Amino acid sequence: MSLFAPDAAPPGRPYWWEDGAPLPALATIPPERTDVLVLGGGYTGLSAAITCADEGAKVTVIDAAIPGQGASTRNGGMFGAHPRLPYETMKSRFGAAAAAACYDESVAAFEFTRQLIQREAIECDLQLTGRIQMAWSRADFDAQKRLVNSVRSQSAINMELIDRDELSSEIETSRYHGAIRFPGHAALHPRKFHDGLLAAAIKRDVVVVRDCPVTEIRREAGRFVARSGSAAIRADRIIVATNGYTQGLSNWLRRRVFPLPSFIIATEPIASTTLARLAPGGRMMVETRAQHSYFRISPDGSRIVFGGRAAMRPTTPERAAARLFRTMTDIWPELRDTRLTHSWSGFTGYSFSHMPAIGSHDGFHFAAGYSGSGVAMAPYLGMKVAYQALNDPRGETVFSRMPLTTRWFHPGGQPHFLTAADMWFRHAVDRRDRLRMRRNG
C-alpha cells in the first residue's frame, strides 16, 4: 500500500505552502543604485533589511529565486534557540564567559523575534507551547542531567528535567529515557512568519527583487558593484544572507557554511482525540539520536508534522518519507495505517562548529550557519548584521567571536564529504538505532 493518501500534494511541496498570503508582486529587475544591498530574502535578509530601513537607509533585497523558498518557508516552525553544542564543549572551546553569553544571547534571540512578531502584528500562529528534547538512551539522559546542572547556574535559560516515569504526561511512547523541557520555547507557522516579514519590509519601501541570482561582487571606487546577468547594482554596503542556499557567490562562505538537507513529512488529518493522547503535552518535540527527529502537531491541530535527517545527501521525497514514516511509527505504532499528504526537504546552512556566525569578509557582511536552528536566531542575527554593516555598536554579539572555520576536505561547492557521512549514517548510526529500537520493544 502507498504511504501517501490519494489526494497527497505533489512530492516535494511543503505542507506550509498550502496556507499563507499570496506572494506580492515583486520586481525582477534590480535598481541601479541602493545604500544597502541584501542578498537573500529569507528570515536573515528580511530582518536585516527591516533594521537598515528603520535606520533610514535605502535598501534592496535580491533573491536568486522566490524569497522564502529557501529554508525559511520549509522549516519545522520550532521557535526557540538554544546552542547546539553542550555547555561544557562550548566552555572548553570558547571559554566560560563566551559559553554563558551564548546561552544568554539565545534567550535574547527568542525575545527579539517574539517582539518583532508582536510589533509587526505578524499573524503566524504563534503558540507558546514549550519544547521537550527527549533522550534516546540512558547515556543521553545522563548527559542531559549534566547539561541542566551546568547551564542552570550559568545562564537565564529555563530548562527542566523530566524523568522517564513522568514522560507520559508529554508523549505516549516508551521509546525515551527522560527529557529536558524548555518551557520558554514556542511554535509558529514558518510560511506565515515569512509572509509577515516580507510585508514589513515592503511597508518600509524596501525593494524586493526575485529570480535574480547575484554571481559577482566587486569593489569599485569605494563602493560595491553586484552583478546579476547583465544587471549591475551599485551599493555602499552589502549583506550576504544566503545561508544554506549560497550559490554562484563567495566560495569563502561556501567553504565554511555547507548545505545539509533536512526532510519533513505531514500526515493526513488525525482525530483530535488521538493527537491529544499521542502528544498530551502539545509541545514541540525533538530527540537526541543522530537522525535528529523533530516533530509537532500542526498549528491547526489537525495532523503531525514530522521531520528528521532522513539522509545526509539530497534524496527523493518518496525515499525520505519512507524513512521518516518508519521512525514516526516506531515512536507511535498506532499511526501505522495513517497516510501522508506531504513530503519535502530543504537545506540548513551548517557550520563546522555547529554554531551560528556573523562577521565580514572582503568587505561584505554576513550572518549564517544556524545549523538547523534559525527560526529565532536568523531574524536576530539579521538585525545584528544590519547594525554591523551600519557601524552601529548595537551590532555587538558574542556570535561575532565564534570562529567560522573550514576543513581541508571541503573546497567549497557541493559538500562531497557528505557522501561519506551519508554512508556512515546509513550503515553505522541507522543500524545502531534500529538495533536499539528492536531491543526497546
User: Which residues contribute to the site for ligand FAD (CB under 6 A)?
Assistant: 39-45, 62-65, 67, 69-72, 74-78, 213-214, 241-249, 262, 264, 294, 307, 345-348, 370, 372-375, 378
* Shortest Cβ 439–ligand FAD spacing (Å): 29
| Cα separation, 254 vs 267, whole angstroms | 35
Closest CA to 34 of 17, 52, 11: 52
* Closest approach of ligand FAD to the CB of residue 66, in Å: 7
- Tell me the closest approach of the beta carbon of residue 96 to ligand FAD, in angstroms: 26
Cell for 22?
499570496
Q: Nearest to residue 63, comparing CAs of 230, 250, 243, 225?
A: 243
Burial 394-428 (b: 16+ CB within 10 A, else e): ebebbbbbbebebeeebeeeebeebeebbeebeee
CB nearer to ligand FAD: pick between 168 and 251: 251
For ligand FAD, the closer of residues 178 and 369 by Cβ is: 369
Give the shortest CB-206-to-ligand FAD separation in angstroms: 15
Provide the terminal-to-terminal Cα distance of the chain, rounded to the nearest Å. Answer: 25
d(CA 196, CA 210): 17
Residue 229 or 248: which CB sits closer to ligand FAD? Answer: 248
Q: Are strands 216-220 and 231-240 parallel, antiparallel or unpaired?
A: unpaired
CB 425 within 8 A of CB 131: no
Closest distance of CB 254 from ligand FAD, Å:
10
The sheet with strand 131-134 has its strands ordered as: 160-163, 178-182, 131-134, 284-287, 294-297, 304-308, 257-267, 340-351
CB closer to ligand FAD out of 245 and 387: 245
Residues 325 and 328: their CA atoms lie apart, in Å, by 5
For ligand FAD, the closer of residues 106 and 177 by Cβ is 106
Other CB atoms within 10 A of residue 80 CB = 24
CB of 224 to ligand FAD, least distance (A): 14
Residue nearest to ligand FAD (CB): 374
Tell me how far, at minimum, the Cβ of 142 lies from ligand FAD, in Å.
26
Q: Which is nearer to ligand FAD, 67 or 359 (CB)?
A: 67
Tell me the DSSP string of 30-93. Answer: --SEEEEEEE--SHHHHHHHHHHHHTT--EEEE-SSSTTTTGGGTS--EE----SS-HHHHHHH
- Work out how close the CB of 440 gets to ligand FAD at its nearest, in angstroms, rounded to a whole number: 26
Q: How far is the CB of 5 from ligand FAD (least distance, A)?
A: 21
> With respect to ligand FAD, which residue has the nearer C-beta, 370 or 387?
370
Residue 288's alpha-carbon distances to 21, 43, 276, 333, 386, in angstroms, are 35, 26, 23, 20, 34
**CB of 177 or CB of 239, closer to ligand FAD:** 239
Answer for the pair 375, 235: CB distance below 8 angstroms, yes or no.
no
Q: By three-state DSSP, how is residue 256 classified?
A: helix
Judged by beta carbon, residue 40 or residue 359, the one nearer ligand FAD is: 40
Residue type, 437: M
